[in-house]
Structure 1
Amino acid sequence: MPINDEVPTGEPAKVFTGIRDVPIYAGESSTGNRLPGGPYRSAELIAIGMIMLPALWWFRTHQDAGFTVLGAAAVLALAVTVILRMLLPKRRPSLAARASFALALILPKHACAAAPQTRSGRGTQR
């Protein structure tokens, strides 16, 4: 006896339900969707793009040149990414730290005006 799985919708199309064997990652970051060494910050992605995009263009337009330019660009992009990860801060300063930086910039530096120590005639300090 055939099972009728049709759901009437008022349209001539049929709606099929129950398909569960296809994994769908909508809005999620699965392990297959990440670049190696990531996550990358925007400065790192911009640097990688500025190095690799011209290298890929060169590789596609000069096909008989070999993989030298592409390999050198990959090594350079890796080196720049490592340098940026060492130099850039992990996170932004807090609002309190920014306020203290602004105050130190705006307010004048205090000069230390200490009175010179005087000695009495006997060599003792007052």
Structure 2
Amino acid sequence: MSNNDVSTGEPAKVFTGIRDVPIYAGESSAGNRLPGGPYRSAELIAIGLIMGPALWWFRTHEGGGFTVLAGAAAAAVVVTIILRMVLPTRRPSLLARASFAVSSIFPTHACAARPHARSSHGAQR
């Protein structure tokens, strides 16, 4: 074993000789990010469900032009904007949940349907 080899107890070796080249994996590097991101899973699923069939149609219909792709891209942008406005970015806090629970157990509004008091003659007041 040389000085640069690191023993892991496994048959594989870890080489640590290269130090001058930064290597990024996943979304940590700027080159791997999609425009307008980061995207949540609901947004990625919606984009995939819109763009997937559009790309399939574009590949199978050669004379179709780019109209379908442009329409699908526009639809994906609109759906992503709507999902960002509608879906919450994070879960409610514990204080908000406690407030919801208390207001559902002890409602602040009075009961609107209340029987009217009747006089001795049976007519309503």
For normalisation by structure 1, the TM-score amounts to 0.64
Q: Percent same amino acid at aligned positions?
A: 75
Residue 108 of structure 1 deviates from its aligned partner by: 5.1
Gaps of 5+ in 2: 6-13, 112-125
- 1:85 positional shift: 1.7
For normalisation by structure 2, the TM-score amounts to 0.64
Render the CA deviation track for 1:54-100: whole Å, top value 9, x for unaligned. 11111112122111111100011011111222222232211221232
Aligned twin of 2:71 = 72
Distance 1:27 1:64, change over 3 A: closer
- Aligned partner of residue 93 in structure 1, secondary structure: coil
Shift of 1:50: 1.3
Runs (5+) with no aligned partner, structure 1: 1-5, 10-14, 113-126
**More displaced 10-residue stretch of structure 1: 85-94 or 101-110:** 101-110
Q: Partner of 1:122 in structure 2?
A: none
Work out whether residues 26 and 32 of structure 2, in 8 Å CA contact, stay in contact via their aligned partners in 1.
no
Output the amino acid matched with 2:74.
V
Aligned residue type for 2:18: I
2:50 equivalent to 1:55: no
Aligned pair count reads: 102
Greater RCO, CA 8 A, separation 6+: 1
Superposition deviation, residue 27 in structure 1 = 5.6
Cα root mean square deviation, aligned: 2.9
1:119 matched to which residue of 2?
none
Within the alignment, does 1:34 sit opposite 2:29 as a pair? no
- 1:95 counterpart residue number: 94
Cα 1:74–1:24 shift into 2, 3 Å: same
Name the amino acid aligned to 2:110: A
